[in-house]
Structure 1
Amino acid sequence: MPIQTEPDGVKYQVSRVQKALLIAGLGLVAISAVRVITGETVLTSSGTARAMLTLALPIAMCALGGLVAERAGVINIGLEGMMILGTWGAGFGGWQYGPWGALLGALIGGALGGLLHALATVTFGVDHIVSGVAINLVAAGLVRFLSEAVYADSTEGGGPTMSPPLGSVDTFNIPILSSGPNLLRRLEDTDLPVLSDLGGILHGLTSGLTVFTLIIVAMIPLAWFVLWRTAFGLRLRSAGESPVAAESLGVNVYKMKYLAVTASGALAGLGGFMLVMFEQSYREGQTGGRGYIGLAAMIFGNWRPGGLLAGSGLFGYADAVRLRASTSAAVLALLLLVGLILAAVGVWDLYRRRYVLSAVLLVLAGATILAWGTLDALPREVTTMTPYLVTLAVLATATQRLRPPAADGMRYRRGEEH
């Protein structure tokens, strides 16, 4: 944690929570300023925030799955394939047994993919990258085979690339805040800078919820508690930091790795479950590369739950703005927001005497703001790519000291010295 010095010379530490709150506050001010300048209310509307939550959670679950596996020392490039297996399991389970059957099917499908990855990497010592890529390829072919075998002859609307429709799930709003007095909605309608934006975002995050949304959101603090506040989490993380030392202290490293990678697949399957419930059916190609984005969000988050949540939310927000915008003007407003972020990071790097990086970021910021000021519209192809471009721009400029687990990706054999 960075150490600051007060005028009297007394040193104090800035906690991660304080730093996160400061960044969130500055981000809210930046978004509010862009909303006021451009007049694009979609940037902070409750509908956009609600869509952001829906779009970000599948990525966050994949990122969390990658975190659990890599904290135990196993690189999981196969998150995309495990998510694909989860979507098919959710489609089949939901078709047969309803929403809770879909949840169970997604967990089983993803966990089986994780178990296969653990078998290859932990037991047989296959290179982690090779195993993950193989799982991605096998999963895509396997679900097509299963769909043709199970759904093709269905009389309920399924086919070789999709399951029969599953039906919708009941939603609810948080009392007082988003129903009844609906305080957040009233705050959103005030149109005051920052305050109305805060009300719109919080209203979107507390309305239109399902019980499954709450369960999946709870996975993130639960994973943090298990990994950093329990003896089991300590043993699991020791397997990814120094498996030989962990073995000498009586930790069953093989068991920890198997449990972590299987749980990793189950979490990726949960992400697939969210996609299926959102579209109310399984569809081939539904994941759209979100497993890879989740992997990037995990690295951006420095292998920590809070950081990966921020990375996932970034992509979800950009995608939500794109989907909710009636014209490309709102997408152009995102360019202004990205330009402000790049400029802020560039000034910070200049303060830290990183002159070359600062110059690059300030030039990019200027080009982005100039593009916003001169362009009237964007081609449809560019608009579709906007969430990916925005995410890449911010993630690439998030200068931080990344520290993966020390033994991440290393082949482990009991009794060997590393």
Structure 2
Amino acid sequence: MSVTTAAPAAPVRAPRKFKLTWRTLLLGLLGLLVLLSVTRVVSGANDITSAGTMSAALAAAVPIGLAGLGGLWSERAGVVNIGLEGMMIFGTWFGAWGAIISGNPWVGVIMGALGGAIGAVLHAIATVTFGVDHVVSGVAINILGLGVAKYLAAAVFADMKGGGDTQSPRVPSMGTFSVPGIGDPLKSLEQTHIFFLSDLAGVLRGLTQNVSYFTILAILLVPLTFWILWKTAFGLRLRSCGERPVAAESLGVNVYFYKYVAVIVSGVMAGLGGAFLSLIAAGIYREGQTGGRGFIGLATVIFGNYRPGGLAGGALLFGYTDSLQLRQGGTSVHALLFTMALLLAGAAVFLLVRQQRTVAAVVTGVIAILVFWVYAITDTVPEQFTTAAPYVVTLLVLAFASQRLRMPAADGVPYRRGQGH
């Protein structure tokens, strides 16, 4: 009697997990630039890749990115920071005040950071020490920042020449930096309107010429944050407080200390974002100039999946759409409909070929056709949509990104020493 043995089952290969590398990021950026170049040639909207647009996009992205970095520090330690907007408001007033009374904009930068830290300390005391609900405390900080800044502006700036109840005098200007020797050649190449090359020249000129030193500082804070939180023992302990605080406590980590540090650094970052608005973006303090950027900064944290690189990309995306609607209004935003149609068509092909998701591919393809149809039958977009475009982009990005998010496990969970969860 012969015994037949079953052939061993073939091993099931787990799907490869996508990993974002510098090479992948660079290829993605180059691909996006090609799409924008195609859009420029088809639509004739030369401003979508001009140096002026890129410079304005960078300036618009900095305060949002700084607020996002603040949210990242706090959320990674397990403290939800809805109060970023209020901390930014503190930064706008204290930044302008420090620069005016000292005559030095860098003193304003320091004072703006300290102003944001004041709001952060209050938030940390409420949430970490007394266990107040994080959202309730954050909303209270927002209300407090708005009221305190309004009172201080009326009490201090109203008596100054050029000031008033809702604004400050002009603040001292800060210097700018330009990479020497490349400005004029890049400008000449940009004006030729050659496919891709002139677009690349416009992007490079906007990012390398007349950049404020404050902007350079803000950009450096992104890799610095990544290095501290992901490459040091301090960062590992801080992130463990947002993932498993009880386990961290059992290994000797002072969870309260790390939460306090994270929230205070969060406030410093948000305060720097506010100081940028009053010192660089406007050159003056005005009531309400944060314009919800603290909330958008928190949205970039979610969009970036609680990582500095993705956060910076979200800030640049919002800054880019914001700069387009400020510079050319409906014309440039209308041109982006063509880019959006191309991106949706590419997404439909990817869903069909690589992921075999037929229904999702069909739906995405239909949306791409509709977007292209709207682009083809119109010459511009309504002014109301143009103004709302940055916020619409933010909502769309969050809606699509929500499927791949993983927030820290203990984010927003009250912690008490010696008690398990």
What TM-score, normalized by structure 2, do the two folds share? Answer: 0.91
Q: Does residue 342 of the first structure (1) align with residue 348 of the second (2)?
A: no
Equivalent in the alignment of 1:392:
395
Question: Equivalent residue for 2:311?
Answer: 308
The residue number in structure 2 matching 1:125 is: 131
Q: By how many angstroms is 1:243 displaced?
A: 0.7
1:416 correspondence with 2:419: yes
Question: What's the Cα RMSD here?
Answer: 1.8
Aligned mates of 2:277, 2:229 — CA distance in 1: 26
Match of 1:184 in 2: 186
- Return the match for 2:107 from 101, 105, 122: 101
CA separation in 2, counterparts of 1:15 and 1:127?
35
Q: Does 1:292 align with 2:298?
A: no
Give the residue type in structure 2 aligned to 1:271.
Answer: G
Shift of 1:70: 0.5
| Segments of 4+ moved more than 6 angstroms | none
Aligned to 2:229: 227
**Letter of the aligned partner of 1:390 in structure 2?**
V
Shift of 1:12: 11
Match in the other structure for 1:249: 251
Matches within 5 A, 1:150-299: 150-154=156-160, 156-178=161-183, 182-277=184-279, 278-299=281-302
Contact persistence 2:299–2:394 (CA under 8 A) = no
Q: Which residue does the alignment assign to 1:55? A: 60
Deviation at 1:328, TM superposition (A): 2.2
SS for the counterpart of 2:126 is helix
Which one is further off, 236-245 or 396-405?
396-405
- Which has more radius of gyration? 2
Q: Give the unaligned 5+ runs of structure 1.
A: 1-10
Offset, 1:176: 2.4
Determine helix, strand or coil for the equivalent of 1:126.
coil
Distance 1:95 1:360, change over 3 A: farther
What residue is the counterpart of 1:137 in the other structure? 143
Gaps of 5+ in 2: 1-15
Q: Tell me the residue number matched to 2:5.
A: none
Contact kept, 8 Å, 1:86 with 1:109, in 2: the verdict is yes
Q: Report the TM-score when normalising by structure 1.
A: 0.92
Separation in structure 2 between the aligned mates of residue 364 and residue 144 of structure 1, nearest angstrom: 45
Distance 2:413 2:350 in 1: 36
Q: 313, 322, 327: which is aligned to 1:324?
A: 327
Whether the aligned pair in 2 keeps the contact of 1:31 and 1:44 (CA below 8 Å) is: yes
Counterparts of 1:280 and 1:24, CA distance in 2 = 32
CA contact (8 A) 1:88 1:282 kept: yes
Q: 1:152 aligns to what SS in structure 2?
A: helix
Q: CA contact under 8 A between 1:338 and 1:390: conserved in structure 2?
A: no
1:8 is matched with which residue? none
Separation in 2 of the partners of 1:55 and 1:417? 43
Helix, strand or coil for the counterpart of 2:176? Answer: coil
Q: Give the direction of change, closer, same or farther, for the CA distance of 1:284–1:14 in structure 2 (3 Å limit).
A: closer
Q: Percent identity?
A: 51
Q: For the residues of structure 1 that align with 2:17 and 2:412, how far apart are their CA atoms? A: 36
For residues 331-390 of structure 1, give each alpha carbon's deviation from its aligned partner in whole angstroms, at most 9, with x where no partner exists. Answer: 210222222223323332334233444343333322222111111233322221122223
Contact 2:324 2:332 in 1 (8 A): yes
1:368-407 pair list within 5 angstroms: 368-398=371-401, 401-407=404-410
1:340–1:395 CA distance, 2 compared to 1 (3 A): farther
Aligned to 2:9: none
* Distance in 1 (alpha carbons) for counterparts of 2:200 and 2:238: 38
AA aligned opposite 2:262: A
Any conservation in 1 of the 2:304–2:313 contact (CA below 8 Å)?
A: yes
Does residue 1:41 correspond to 2:46, yes or no?
A: yes
Counterpart-to-counterpart distance in 2, 1:152 and 1:334: 43
Q: Tell me by how many angstroms 1:82 deviates.
A: 0.7
Structure 2 distance, partners of 1:201, 1:114, is: 36
Distance in 2, Cα, partners of 1:402 & 1:268:
23
- Supply the AA of the counterpart residue of 1:318: T
Question: What CA distance in whole angstroms lies between the structure 2 residues aligned with 1:343 and 1:266?
Answer: 42
Letter of the 2:179 partner, please give it. I
How many equivalent pairs are there? 403
Pair 1:146–1:157, CA change in 2 (3 A): same
Q: 1:400 Cα shift? A: 5.2
Distance 2:239 2:288 in 1: 34
Q: Would the aligned equivalents of 1:79 and 1:265 in 2 still touch at CA under 8 Å? A: yes
Contact 1:153 1:159 in 2 (8 A): yes
